[in-house]
Every structure is written in structure tokens, then in C-alpha cells.
Amino acid sequence: MNEKNLDDFFKKEIDEKNVKRVREKPRKPILEKGPKSTSFREFFRNRFSFDVNVDLTNPTSVLYRRNYVIKNIIFLANLIFTLFAFIGISKSNFILTLVFCLLMTTISQTIAQMRKRKTDDYSHQTIIMYLQCLYVFILAVILYIKVWVGFRLVSETMTNAEFSVTQAAYLLIYFSLVITSLYQNPKLVRTMFIWALVVMTVLHCSILHPELYQNATNLGELIRYAFVDNNEIAIDIFLRTIVLLAFFAALYSAVSITYYMNEQRKNEFNKRKGVETNFIDVVESVFEAVKVYNLSADDLEQKMSAKRVAASAKELSIAMAYDQETIEKIYEFSEVHSEKIKMLVIDEKKGTDGEDMEQIMEKTKLATTIIKRLQLCKQGEDIVMAVFEHQITDDFRYNMTHTQNDRISQIILLCEIYDILRNDRSYKKGLNHLRSLELINNDFDIFFDKDIVSRFTKYNHEIETAYEKAI
């Protein structure tokens, strides 16, 4: 492990210590406060955002959330419809207007109650989707008829203000189609367009231009009246139909593109989720392998060995004139396989959202560090056994000197070998400090940087003292 990897790994350790110091500061008493107020942004997001509390991989969950958001939008639309329903009330029947508002509220509430009954049934939520779209469209059409007829009952000609109100009511029909597009469902948009084309054609011919109905005694008479005698009527209907077609083309294109992108995003999300699941399985296998390897020896003896090596490595790093931060990193890396092994646990009950994956990645980095530290343990055992059994070859020496050959790893490996020499093994007895030092200078120096061995020899008394205190 190089120094850069150590910096990345122990950065989190330093942050945790700083957080701990902050938490240990005395806290001021907390005064009781009233309920926390919700900001307008949060209020708006909870009711009009499609991505709140929804599983993007679950179509039913997505559709249920969209039905909920569209219901809230329809509620606002109802307020606008109510305002238009009471415009010009002196020129229309008040009871008819009141019945219209009550019917509008009743149907809206009924659809809202139906939406809540089967939240996990996709077919049921699809029916709610179509009902809501038909409701808001038909409501807009009826409202336009009411406003137009209400003004025309008084006189054949309307004032500029009355004409502006009728045109605004006419635009509400397009607004209802925009609400339909929020479902991002091309099939739904096509269906609603067919309804809109038929209904608005009838509307143009019967309500907007009622004289067409009066002169439609036969086809020839109708054509002569609309296209010859009053060609402005045909032009008006034609232009309105062209605008509707252009509006549908733009709306359908936007919905289709968004639908395609959402489908691709969902597919990529499912693939990533599958990769994450496989990744977690691999990580769990690595964690188990690390634990099995780490528990191959006596747990208490291993902890004591890690502490002795850490104390020796710290003293040697001081002799190497490293700064205090690097010394602490070397000390923590020396005993990471003993102190941090229990952190390698993945909670299977949790999902694989961003926060969980971040924790898994942190544990994976920890597992990598522990594996590298265990590799130094194994490397030390192999070197000592090879020396005592006279099995040193050029290939063996090359492999040992080119595995984790940075200076920090060499410091820990040298202290690891020193600890092995001082303790019993199946192929040897434990040696005293002077004999271990002699072997390090005569037989083990070929595996290390000469400067490290020289500093170890020069400060061997300080290292021995630190070693003995850790026992």
C-alpha cells in the first residue's frame, strides 16, 4: 500500500475523530418549540413532484404517484373552472351553475377515493388515470359551452371583454390536454387526442357556429353555405383544427421523447441494481474470506501481535523522521486488521440506495486495506520460514521485494518480522532482542531498504522498549 492509499483510507478516520470531539462538547439545554413549519418549497414538492416517495422500478408505484400529483393539479384546475363558471352568472341560470360546481366536486372526490383503494393494482390505477384525464377534459368542454352559451343567450354579438373570456375558456380545453401529457404516456395522449378531435369538431360546428346546423338540410346546402356564401366559417374551423393538430404533434413528440428516456433510464437503473446486487455478493464473499483468514490464529494472540508490531512501527517511523500525521497513519495501518475487522458487515435488510452503496464502498476500501495488511503478515511469515529453512531463491527474493515495496509497508513488514523472530513458531523457538537484531542485519537485510534497516539498528533500544511495553 502506498502513501496515497493510506491518505484516502485514514481521511475518514480523522473526520470521525473530529466529529467525536465536537459531540463531546457540552450542549445547551433545548427549549421546547412548536411544531416545525414546513417551507413552501417542501409543501409544493410533496404535492406536485413526481419523484417523491416512489420506486422508479415499480410501474404501479410510479403511476400511483402520478395519479396523486394529477389529482392535486386537477384540484387547482377546479378552482379555475369554478371561477369561470361564475363569470357572467347574471346572464345564465344560477341553479345550473351551482349544480355544475357540485357535480364537479363530487366526481373529483369520487375519483380521489377510488385512487386510494387499490394502491398496488396497476390496472386499477390505469383506470384512475383515464378517468382523471376524461374528467378534466369533459369539464373544460362543458365549461366552455356554458360560458359561450351564457353570453350568446343575451345577444348575438359579444363585447370585447366577453369574447376574451370565451377565448380563455376555450384555452382551458388545451390546458386539460396538457394535464393529460403529464402522465408521459403516448398511448393515453393518442386516445385523448381522438376524443379531443371529435368533441372539438362537434363543438366548432354546433356551439361556435350554430348556423351550420340550421343550414345542414342536405350535404350540398351545407357545403354551399360554409364554403361559398360564408367561407370565413370554413376557414375558422379549418384553422382551429390545424392548430389542434399542430398542438397534438408537439405534445405527442415531447411525451414520446420523455417516455423513451424514462424507459431507458429505468432499464439502466435495473441493470445497475443487478450489478450492485452482484457487487454486494462479491464484497460479502471477500469480507468472509478476510474474516476466515484473520481468525486462523488465536484471536487474543493476534491482537497482541498487532499491538506489538504497531508500537514498533511507530517507534521506527519516529526514527525515520516522519511527521506526526504519517506516524499516526502507520500506527493505525499496523493494527487495522485487528481493530477494524468487525466493521466488515453488510446489513442485508437495507436496500441499495445511494447512501447504502456509499457505506458499502467505504467498507470495501476498508476490506482492501485489511487484505493488504494481512498480506504483510503472510509475507513476514513466508520470509522468516524461508530464511530458517534455507529456501531463499532469486525468484523468492524478487517476489518478496516487489510486493508492497513502498517505505511504509517495508517499515511495517520489518517490525512484523521482528515480532515473528521474538515469538515461537512451529519451526523455531522465540529469540531475544539481540539475536533478532543480528538476524535482521545479516539474513533479512536483503529484503529491505538499507536506510530502514540502518535506522532500525541505530534505534533498536527505543524500538525494543516500545515493543516490550506493548506486551
Neighbours of 159 (CB within 10 A): 10
pLDDT of amino acid 455? 94
Are the beta carbons of 452 and 407 closer than 8 angstroms? Answer: yes
pLDDT of 30 > 50? The answer is: no
Mean pLDDT along residues 348-353: 50
**d(C-alpha 359, C-alpha 356), whole Å:** 5
| Mean pLDDT across the chain | 78
pLDDT of 87 > 70? The answer is: no
Mean pLDDT along residues 44-73: 78
32-36, 282-286, 347-351, 364-368: segment of lowest average pLDDT: 32-36
Are the beta carbons of 457 and 441 closer than 8 angstroms? Answer: yes
pLDDT of 221 > 80? The answer is: no
Q: In this structure, what C-alpha cell is assigned to residue 284? A: 460479502
Report the predicted TM-score, pTM, of the whole model to 2 decimal places.
0.51
Mean pLDDT along residues 411-422: 94
pLDDT of amino acid 440? 94
344: pLDDT confidence band, cut at 50, 70 and 90? low
SS3 392: coil
Phi, psi of 425 (to 5 degrees): -135, 170
Name the amino acid, one letter, at 457. Answer: T
Domain ranges of the chain: 38-179, 184-294, 297-470
pLDDT of 154 > 60? The answer is: no
Mean pLDDT along residues 394-404: 88
pLDDT of 23 > 60? The answer is: no
Query: Which helix (DSSP H) or strand (DSSP E) does residue 112 occupy?
Result: helix 94-117
Considering only residues 149 and 179, tell me which one the structure prediction assigns the higher pLDDT: 179
Q: Which CATH number among 1.10.238, 1.10.3210, 3.40.50, 1.10.150 corresponds to the domain 297-470? A: 1.10.3210
Are the beta carbons of 165 and 87 closer than 8 angstroms? Answer: yes
Q: In this structure, what C-alpha cell is assigned to residue 164? A: 376574451
DSSP-derived secondary structure for 189-257: HHHHHHHHHHHHHHHIIIII-THHHHT-SSHHHHHHIIIIITHHHHHHHHHHHHHHHHHHHHHHHHHHH
Are the beta carbons of 317 and 327 closer than 8 angstroms? Answer: yes
Most confident of 5-19, 108-122, 403-417: 403-417
What residues contact 286, with CB distance under 8 A and at least 6 apart?
Answer: 364, 367, 371
- β-pair partners for 425: 428
Q: In this structure, what C-alpha cell is assigned to residue 401? A: 521485494
| Residue found by looking up cell 522468516 in the block | 384
314: pLDDT confidence band, cut at 50, 70 and 90? very high
Give the Cα-Cα-Cα angle 105, 110, 111 (nearest 5 degrees).
100
pLDDT of 356 > 80? The answer is: no
pLDDT of amino acid 33? 40
pLDDT digits (tens, 9 = 90+) for 259-309: 888 888 777 777 777 766 666 666 666 666 555 555 544 467 778 888 999
73-82, 130-139, 234-243, 267-276: segment of lowest average pLDDT: 267-276
What's the distance, Cα to Cα, between the start and end of the chain in Å? 27
pLDDT digits (tens, 9 = 90+) for 183-199: 888 898 898 899 889 98
pLDDT of 316 > 90? The answer is: yes
48: pLDDT confidence band, cut at 50, 70 and 90? confident
pLDDT of 412 > 90? The answer is: yes
